[in-house]
Amino acid sequence: MTIAKAAVTTVRNPVLPGFHPDPSILRVGADYYIATSTFEWYPGVRVHHSTDLAGWRPLGGVLTERRLLDLTGTADSCGVWAPNLTYARGLFHLLYTDVATFAGGYWDPQNYLVTAPGMEGPWSDPVVLHGRGFDASLFHDDDGTTWMLSMRADWRPGHNRFAGISLQRYDHRVRRLVGPEHLIFEGTDAGLTEAPNIYRKDGWYYLVTAEGGTTLTHQVTVARSRRLLGPYEVDPEGPMLTSSGRPDLELQKAGHGSLVQTPGGEWYLAHLAARPYAPSGRCVLGRETALQRVDWPFNGWPRIRDGVPAAEFPAPAGVTATPPPAEPDLDHFDAPRLGPDWSTLRRPATPDWVDLTSRPSYLRIRGGQSPMARHRPSLVARRVTAPRCTFEATCEFVPRNYRQLAGITAYYNSRNWYYLHVTADDDGTPVLDVLCCDSGRVTAAPGLRTPLDVRRVGLRARLDGPALTFAYQTAPGSWQELGRTFDATTLSDEYAVTLVPGEPEAWGFTGAFVGLWVQDLGAEGGYADFDEAVYRLD
């Protein structure tokens, strides 16, 4: 008798497409959570939920108010780096770093810890922990002790800025670090050792770190010891995962991983990856989250097939359905607050500028500062999650003068963006125009300025790989293309890095957004109403 083998369900990577870097994965009972970095965007620390590792639902962000996170004045790609989500003593523990700068070899990283009985909160006031380094995590040992790990930053000229992995005990009762700091791992020749996590298995402590930098040379390194404080032996077979030297792979930059075990005993690694656009090699979607199946023999080293990231992974046993294709996401703004796919730049979505009540079924955005300002921008946006997608919005706006602008944007950071907007000429005539910002230089796209004789206009941005186009309509079904193609690859980490070659201030760690932007540069009370917004994959 022949027994047919059950078909293995496979899941496509990345499981969290678009800007979702530095994943920290956690299982509590039957529920899985992934927390990812958010940098200068609110709400801080984006979280997704799953029950099968295949389909993931956004829960939004944890750090929703200035009590928990203040991003006022935060520089591009600073802010929240590499959160760590764990569960112990009946509480979720979220550890996160707020990075202040890149300049001069400094980071000024401040680490905070908040706790809550459930992912929905309420979250405690932040506990201030050390500022010695970033990518911090908590390890809850079997004996009931908890330890904080982080990379150790060394600002001194001529020294290794990534000076190893440090460990210090955390006391739950007094909510602070106690005892001495221990340097437990100095890394391998790959360098740039960061993102530590410890797991205990079969009598070993396994230390998982990221090395090589979060670029094409990124990797996941594993070391182990019988003792928590070491010494740690590095896996003699080399990195657990990397795409370095494999330009043929769909997923590049593979690294920064964390492990999870299913109730059935299977292991998976959540890691960041990126999908470069040919031929530029630029990753417009930013660093994304992927999953890989891990084989872990008793008393052995964790292994991923061929040690490289795969575009598909086998789902856990018993999972028989893959997630359905994404449907267009239409928001009529009927809810009392923004949905979980929306983010705001550098300030939380408070009613004083994100208003969903003054005009039912409309989002009223009160104008903020200029695109270069870092204190009170009025930008509501969502991540670009696929190379081909469309974003449309219906805007009602009556500008008083040229200092008032409202429209849609394709945005990377304060120095790289495109802005299809309505404003006013000197004689008060409403006009439609496109502003472009390339490496901090703002220009108007020539020949596109168009007078408008209506206050209600549909606006559209379409991304087709490296090509970005805009269109508008003054009546339903009458889209008019603006007739120019813009370079979408400027909305990428790689392009941000080239702004000032060799200067750490120019690093970029986020990804492309599309969204709704309103400016009131004269602080004259200007606002725009958005009737609806739709994002769909093409």
| Catalytic positions, written as ranges | 22, 194
What's the start-to-end Cα distance of the chain, in Å?
48
Written as six digits, the tokens of 365 are 């955005």
Distance in angstroms (rounded) separating the CA atoms of residues 220 and 364:
45
Please give the Cα distance from 215 to 226 (Å, whole number): 32
Query: 111: Cβ–Cβ under 8 A, 6 or more apart, which residues?
Result: 95, 96, 97, 98, 128, 129, 130, 131, 134, 136, 148, 150
Q: Which of 229, 154, 235 is nearest to 192 (CA)?
A: 154
Tell me 227's DSSP state. Answer: S
Query: What is the rounded distance in angstroms from the CA atom of residue 86 to the CA atom of residue 65?
Result: 21
- How far apart are alpha carbons 148 and 216 in whole angstroms? 29
Alpha-carbon distance values, 141 to 87, 169, 172, 199, 209 (Å) = 12, 11, 13, 9, 18
Give residue for tokens 């449907």.
Answer: 327
Phi/psi for 365 (5° steps) reads: -110, 120
Amino acid identity at 327: E
How far apart, in whole angstroms, are the C-alpha atoms of residue 134 and residue 114? 16
Phi then psi for residue 504, to 5 deg, are: -65, -20
Query: Measured over all CA atoms, what is the biggest interatomic distance in the chain, rounded to whole angstroms?
Result: 87
128: tokens are 């201030």
List of residues 6+ apart from 29 with CB closer than 8 A: none
Dihedral sign (CA 226, 231, 236, 238): positive
C-beta separation of 512 from 285 below 8 A: yes
With a CB cutoff of 8 Å and minimum separation 6, the contacts of 355 are: 363, 364, 365, 366, 527
The secondary element (H helix, E strand) that includes residue 496 is: helix 493-497
DSSP string, 26-51: EEETTEEEEEE--BTEESEEEEEEES
* Tokens standing for residue 151: 């990379």
Nearest to 397 by CA among 236, 526, 532: 526
CB 435 within 8 A of CB 484: no
290 alpha carbon, distance to own chain's centre: 13
Using CA atoms, how far residue 81 sits from 20, 135, 152, 214, 510, in Å, is 11, 7, 15, 13, 10
